[in-house]
Amino acid sequence: MAKINLRLPPHKNSLLPQRVYKQLNRDKNACTNTKMSSSSISSNFERVLCSPSSPSSSSRSTQEKKSNYQSYHHNNNNNLPVLQKRKTRTNTKLFAHPNNKNRMRSNKKVISNTNKLPWALDLALIFNWTDIIDDDLREKNKSLNIFLDGANIAWHRGALLRKKFKCRQFPLSAGVIEALNYEHWLNHKIVAYIPKEYVIGELPNLCDGGGLATVNTEHVKYLRNGIWVNEKLQALVDEGKIRLVERKEGGDDDLTIITEAKAKDAWICSNDQFRDHKNDKSLPFSGGRSLREFSRLRRFECKFLIAPGLDEKMLHAMQSAKGWEPKVGWKFDASYAEESEKKRRNIVSSSNGDDGSDGSSSTRSTTSPGRNDNPGALNGVLPFYAMPHEILPCYFEPTPTTAMIEAKKLFEKKKDWSPPFVKNEWNN
């Protein structure tokens, strides 16, 4: 191939028209990038110089440029590199995206919905809706993951007894135990999340504790150095039905429940709507709106039911019939009474006198004494919170939210739907 040198004058000092100068530059670039013959360059150069420059022939020159450009690229398209050719559009599949299903195209695997049952059918298994559950659904024996907000449930049962019988209020372990043993959840995987200080720790935060005067020694036992343990809950911890959550600096057991439920696609039983965590960045949500949507779809509430007409007079009769006597107060714990007596003797021997202490203040915790530590904390009211289920029957029941009730109505409406009958009038 002959070497061609095209020395173009500068644009300012050029004697050629501007359009001729631009066309020559394009030809020069085409020559350097592709294998172009000298004859084609010279013919193209002559065509540019001989083309009219008058404004009247501008439309004709534009058409000639277009035809020459198409013929040139048609003849030299095979000589272009592969990367410079236009890529053809291939048929790509649209894959699901976690935020928007119609936005992202990728080579990742398709996100399939593992839950083949409708949302209302899962709710029917949780709330035992017999009008929706059929024989086929029972034969599938589907198991759901249900996480219990143990602290919320324990406080809710204590609040109910406080409202009905005017007794002391603190978290009760009976609420968590009744929720774990709910008769319609035997086929499901149920785990309760409880703060660690509700199971082992000081009395003010302990379930069935409250204080030295209100502690239920049938469930709570003294260890040492002001530390108590709820043996009922500790046994469930050893079985794996309860998971302890440590409330460290700024930590919260609600965050653990939400995170675990999101990761394992579980349901949450709690009366807390988690509105105070909408701005928490540690949760696996993009914002408060996604957390609110997750709470609407995956959180249901609960309540406790006491038999109507059950008053104090009837409870006294049942108590005398069963022969049950409450063991409430620090004096019923032998280890605590023994340790308090030793400390009282040491104080008396060191001071060479009797200070008149009754032993209840000798082994108190580092926290300041509360009203539940006073000997007259019960104020003559029976400890209804310590009564067993045989005397005071209190039943746990999960309750659906408003959105879940509407989903049930919609499912029933679609389930009984049938195409309307259209009268054929053409045969008449």
Place of tokens 């035997």: 186
Q: Where among 28, 46, 64 does a domain terminate?
A: 46
In this structure, what DSSP letter does residue 46 have? H
- 195 and 342: one domain? yes
Number of domains the chain is built from:
2
pLDDT in tens, 313-365: 899 898 899 899 999 999 999 999 888 888 888 877 776 554 444 545 444 44
Distance of CA 417 to the CA centre of its chain: 34
- 33 and 126: one domain? no
Quote the pLDDT of residue 287: 75
Quote the pLDDT of residue 245: 93
- 34 and 170: one domain? no
How many other β-carbons are positioned within 10 Å of the β-carbon of residue 20? 17
Sheet harboring 242-245: ordered strands across? 242-245, 189-195, 145-149, 267-269, 299-306, 394-399
Phi-psi region of 265 (alpha: psi -120 to 50; beta: other; left: phi over 0): left
- Does 288 map to a domain? yes
- 223 and 362: one domain? yes
- 27 and 132: one domain? no
Task: Pull the structure tokens for residue 141.
Answer: 């024996």
Q: Can you give the residue range of the structural domain that contains 36?
A: 1-46
Question: Cα separation of 159 and 164, whole Å?
Answer: 9
Q: Name the phi and psi angles at 121, rounded to 5.
A: -70, -35
- Does 96 map to a domain? no
Exposure class string for 383-406: b at 16+ Cβ within 10 A, else e: bbbbbeeebbebebebebbeebee
Q: How confident is the chain (428 residues) per 10-residue block, as mean pLDDT?
A: 50 54 64 51 50 46 53 50 46 46 41 53 88 69 90 94 90 95 93 95 93 94 93 96 83 84 93 82 78 88 90 89 91 89 79 52 55 85 90 94 89 67 47
Quote the pLDDT of residue 192: 97
Quote the pLDDT of residue 357: 47
- Does 113 map to a domain? no
- 41 and 137: one domain? no
- Does 206 map to a domain? yes
- Does 83 map to a domain? no
- Does 61 map to a domain? no
Tell which residue, 344, 28, 398, has the closest CA to residue 183.
398
- Does 421 map to a domain? no
- 39 and 183: one domain? no
Question: Cα separation of 167 and 163, whole Å?
Answer: 8
- 302 and 173: one domain? yes
pLDDT in tens, 252-274: 788 889 889 989 999 999 999 88
Quote the pLDDT of residue 68: 55
Query: Which CATH number do you get for residue 392?
Result: 3.40.50.11980
Sheet harboring 227-230: ordered strands across? 200-201, 227-230, 220-224
- Does 55 map to a domain? no
